A and B are shown apart, each in its own frame.
Chain A
Amino acid sequence: MKQYHIQLESGDVGKTVFVPGDPGRAPIIAEHFDDARFVMRNREYVTYTGESQGVEVSVTSTGVGCPSLAIAIEELIKVGAENFIRVGTGGLLQEWVSPGSIIIASAAVRGEGTSREYIPLEYPAVASLEVVEALVEGAEKRGIKPYVGIIRSHDAFYIESTLARVDYLAKDKPWIESNVLAVENESGTLFTLASLRGKKAGTILAVSGSHQHPELSVSDERMRELVSEATEIALYAARKLGS
C-alpha cells in the first residue's frame, strides 16, 4: 500500500535510508549512489534509491523540522526501512570546534514538540551505537577527525540561529555550557522514534555558521564539499550496516 505522504510502498527503499531536510539535497546525495533511480516526489518528500557496492540504499528528504520528519520516518518504517542516517547541516555552538567540521551526534536535546507527543521529555533521544561507530569509522577512513557529541534539535529557526530576531547567544548559553556541539531541527524526533520503534538512527552534520563567531563561517563552495564528504561517510556506514 502506498504511504499517504511519502507515496512509497514496500520494495521502493533499501534497508538504510538517508534523511536530509532539503528536497534539493536528495538528488545531490543520490549522485553518490551507484545506479540511482528517482522513485517519487510528493510535497517535501523526494526519494531516490540506488546501491553502494551492492548494498541497497535510499534517500528521502524530510523537509525542515520534526513534524514532517516524523511522518517520513513512520511511513518509511511501514515500507521496510530499518536504518536512518540524517545527513544535514547545523549551526555551530562551541568555540573549540572550527567551522567546516564534521559532527556525529551521540544524542540530541529534545528542544522540539513532536517527540513530546510520543513520550515524555525524560526519555533520551540517543543515536544507535552501530550507526555512531560506523560513521566515526567512515570519517576516520577518509582522514577526517569528526567531533562526536550531543547536538540540539529545536523548532523555531528564527529564535536560535545567527539570523534570529532575538539575542540568540543568550538562548544558546545553557547549551554551550553543557557541551552541546551544534543546533539543528530534526534529530530529537529521529532518535526518539527509532528507539520507540526498535530501529537504528544516527546523524552526521556539516557545520558552518558559528553562533559565537559568525564571521568565521566557511564558503558555500566549502560547505558543498563538506556535505559531499558527509554523504560518502554515510555511505560507508550504510555498507557497514549491510543489506
Chain B
Amino acid sequence: MTKEYPQHHIDCRTGDVAPTVFLPGDPGRVPVWAELMDEAWKVAEKREYVTYTGRKNGVLMSCTSTGIGCPSASIAAEELYRIGAKNLIRIGTCGSIQEYTKPGEMIVATGAVRGEHTSEEYISMEYPAVADYRIVRALIDAAEGLEVPYHRGIIRSHDAFYMESPEAFGDYRARIQKWTDANVLALENESSAIFVIASMSKIRAGTILAAGNAIWKPDADAFDWERHVKMMLRVAIRAGVLLDERGLA
C-alpha cells in the first residue's frame, strides 16, 4: 500500500477530517468552535491552517481555518476536497450593506458576487458562485430551530478589505452603493472561491456569517463579538447535525 502524504498546506490526510468541514477565516476561531462541540481534538496546524475534528450529538465534524482571502481559502477548499470533504461551510463575520440588517443577525448566502480574482483563474466570470441549496436549507432550519434571526440572499466576496470597509480610503460608500442596490446583503472575502471550487468538484458548499456593524455606521457598537460569533457557530454546528440526519454527510 502506498503511503498517503499529508496535503501540502493543511497538513491533513484522508480520515483526518469529517465529511462536513467548517471554514472560518481566523485560525483563532477554530478552538472556539471546538469548545462548542461535545468533544474535539486538534488534528493539524500549519501556516494559517488550523484543523480540529470533533463530535456533536454523535456526528463527526471538522473545522479548518483558511486565513483571509480567496488565495488561501482556495487552497484549503482544494485540499479538503482531495481528502474527502463533502460539505464545506464557511463560517465568519461580514460587513452588512443593507439598512434592514441588524448587527448580530445571521446572513445565509445563496450565492456570492465573484469580486475576487482567485476563482477567475479556475473558470471565467460568467460561471455562478452558488451555494448548495441543501446546505442553505440546513443553515436556515438550524437558525429557525435555535430562534436566531437571519437573512438569506446574495453576498459579495472581494479581495481588498481596505477598499470596501469603514476604514477604507475615500468614498467607500459610493463604491458599495451598486451592490446595495442589487440586493447584496453583506461583504466578506472568501465565499465565492469556495462556492466555485465546490461546484467544479461536485461537492456542496455554503456560508453563514454573523452580520457586523453596518458598514456606513462604523461608530455603532451593537455587534458583540463573543456573543454573536458563538451564536453563529451554534447555528452552523446544528446545521452540520441536520446535514448528517438528512443523509448529506
Contact = CB atoms under 8 A, between A and B. Distances in A.
Interface in A3-43: none
A196 B183 contact: yes
Interface in B187-239: 192, 199-200, 202
Nearest to A154: B126
Contacts of B132: 106
Interface string A170-209: 0000100111100000001000000110100000000000
Contact of B133 (A106, A119, A174): A106
Interface in B118-156: 123-130, 132-133, 136-137, 152-154
Given A126-B154, A150-B130, A179 B110 contact: no
A121 B110 CA distance: 17
Nearest to A112: B126
A119 B112 CA distance: 13
B128 A174 contact: no
Q: For the side of the interface on B, what is the size category? A: 20 to 34
Nearest to B136: A129
Interface in A117-141: 119, 121-126, 128-129, 132-133
Contacts of B129: 124
B115 interface: yes
A106 B130 contact: yes
B183 A122 contact: no
A109 interface: yes
Contacts of B128: 107-110, 124-126, 150
A109 B127 contact: yes
A169 interface: no
Interface in A35-80: none
A111 interface: yes
A143 to B, nearest CB: 19
Nearest to A126: B111
A110 to B, nearest CB: 4
B182 interface: yes
A132 B111 CA distance: 14
Contacts of B107: none
Given A107-B111, A178-B127, A129 B152 contact: yes
A187 B112 CA distance: 17
Nearest to B124: A174
Given A107-B130, A119-B182, A195-B154, A129 B202 contact: no
B235 to A, nearest CB: 17
B29 interface: no
Contact of A179 (B115, B133, B182, B199): B199
A124 B137 contact: no
Given A107-B111, A128-B110, A195-B153, 14 more contacts: A106-B132, A110-B126, A121-B125, A122-B113, A122-B114, A122-B115, A122-B125, A122-B192, A123-B113, A124-B114, A124-B130, A126-B130, A129-B110, A180-B127
